[in-house]
Each structure stands twice: as C-alpha cells, then as structure tokens.
Structure 1
C-alpha cells in the first residue's frame, strides 16, 4: 500500500510525534536523551530546519519543526534512523525502535501553534512526572522562558506571539 504524501510547502510547520514501538521506552537513561538532542542539533546543521519547541518523554517525543527546503519526511527519516542505530547498538537490540511512522500535524494557524507549544510543554505535568513544566529537564520550556541558555531551538518564533516577553509566554503556558 502506498503511503499518502504529506502536505508540504516552504515554511511548513509541523507538530511531530514519535512513539516507542509497543509504547516501549525510547530513553532509558540521561545519555539517551543527550544523544537524541545531539542528533537533532547535527541533523539541523545538515538539513537546515528550525525547531521551535520539543519535549522528550520516556516513551515518545513531541516537536514543532519548520522546514524551508527539505521535506519533513527526509528530516525525520534521518533523525529516527540515527537514533535507532545508536539505541539498538547500545542495548544490543534488533528491530524497530519506533512505532509505525512518525505522526505529523500541519500547523496552519497562529492559534494552533500556541496551543501545540503549550500542550508540548505541559506534557510532563499532565503525565504526573513533574509538578511544573520548568522542573522537566528534557524539554525546551526552560530555554523559551529564559532559565537556560538556548542551544538549538528557535524560541523567538514562539516569543514573537508575546512581544518577545518570556514572562508572558510562561503565564500563557502555566495558566492551564
């Protein structure tokens, strides 16, 4: 069966979700999270795309990615392939690490972008992993609100909705 081609155009923004196969863990220790983030950074340099926000949960990943020249499928193929090779080698596994193909939702409206970023950053809170989103280490939230130095995300894209105010974004996320 032929897969449906995902809608794409220069500047397209997507909410990406990748789940562990059988909902198994994608990250077993801190090194795994760090390796995945490093793969995002390296892939970003080679394929040129923007990451607006992310959250790496134990058994799934959320990201908002924007592309100008490269289709989202090429980006996700490289990210997931590199991480699968690392993970399977480290834990002496074979087979699929990810459940199915990644899921993507095209973000066409500003309101949708804001809701997705809030949803992503509140994911660890809703999963009862932490009390506050800033307590979760494997998310872009602390970079966006200015608690940590920004490494590779494009937080200004989200902050533009709040007149560049990190405090307004924090209030927007945490008022839920």
Structure 2
C-alpha cells in the first residue's frame, strides 16, 4: 500500500525522481531541454494551483526539484511531469516499461535552515558527482539563474535569495554554496593523500 504524503497548504518539498534501476533518463541535450519544457508546461497547465519551482538540478539518471505548493497537493504536478516525459522518452528510444524507479520521493521542508541547505545540496549535486569542479559549470541546474549568469526561467529564486541582503544576494548565495563546496574539495584532497 502506498503511504500518503504529508501535505498542508503552502508546503515545500525536496523532490527526487530516479531512473529505473538507476538507468539514465537523459541521454542527450534534447532530453534535458524537453524535461524543462514539460515542467514549464505543467506549471502553466496548473497555473491556478500556483505551484512554484524554487530550484532544480537534472542529472543523467535522476532529478532534484524544490517545489512549493499552494492550494493543491504535489502529486498533480509531478504526475503530469513524469507521465509526459515517460511518453516522450519511450517513443524516442522505443523503450517499453517503467522509466522511473517507483514514484517520486519527496521530503517536506520544515524550516528556513532546511530550505537553504536543500538548495545548496541540489546545486552542488554535479560537483559531488565529479561531473564539474564548480556548480556554475553545470548547465542543467538553476544555479546560474540564482547567481545572475542566466535569465530566470521556470524557477522563482526569490524564495531562497530573500534570505540574503538584497543588494548582495547573488554574491552572498555564491559564498553560501561555495563554503560547502570548499569543504567538499578539502575532503577529496584528503582522500587522495
């Protein structure tokens, strides 16, 4: 039996969607772009429900999203996104069966510290996976929108950036993310010694 997710009006979640058996769900640039377009379409489709994507990171075999709900449960939005992407992927690659491992995983974000830490965790995912040395090098996350290198699309970074002094918020967010990044780099160097 599927356990019912905890939800209340305005709840925010860290959502993870994984490929079945950890298989890749994105094989080329078009796949990444299509998934982002589906998110945008789903947000428009459910515009009256006022869902907000705060940040994201699309990895080869999984996705991290931070989503704020308003008046409706998360499942409507995630169901639409996953169903549309599965149809696209199965048709493009002549794939049969489940694309995703189970249903999506969601963790309720319960306080400001968890909100900030989760955004940093999401944006550092490609660094931890040793795909890039710096999160700004990874193009399939919202990090470059947060720091002003790219125009904001599908996300609302203000939910995170409003924690920082307005005038310097992009620079302060970079320092916040990179403080964890520097610790991670030190750990890697220690492992090599």
Partner of 2:156: 154
Query: Does 2:65 match 1:63?
Result: yes
The structure 1 segments of at least 4 consecutive aligned residues displaced by more than 4 Å after TM superposition are none
Query: Structure 2: which 5+ runs fail to align?
Result: 181-193
Q: Pairwise CA RMSD of aligned residues?
A: 0.7
Say which is worse superposed, 159-168 or 50-59, in terms of deviation. Answer: 159-168
Partner of 2:115: 113
Q: TM-score, normalised by structure 2?
A: 0.89
Query: Does 2:162 match 1:163?
Result: no
| SS across alignment from 1:128 | coil
| SS across alignment from 1:175 | helix
C-alpha deviation, 1:163, in angstroms: 2.2
Give distance in 2, aligned partners of 1:163 and 1:79: 34
| SS across alignment from 1:8 | coil
C-alpha deviation, 1:155, in angstroms: 0.6
User: Size of the alignment, in residue pairs?
Assistant: 175
Give distance in 1, aligned partners of 2:143 and 2:82: 22
C-alpha deviation, 1:77, in angstroms: 0.8
Query: Does 2:29 match 1:30?
Result: yes
Q: TM-score, normalised by structure 1?
A: 0.98
Which has more radius of gyration?
2
C-alpha deviation, 1:70, in angstroms: 1.9
Give distance in 1, aligned partners of 2:90 and 2:171: 41
Partner of 2:43: 44
Give distance in 1, aligned partners of 2:62 and 2:94: 20
Query: Does 2:45 match 1:18?
Result: no
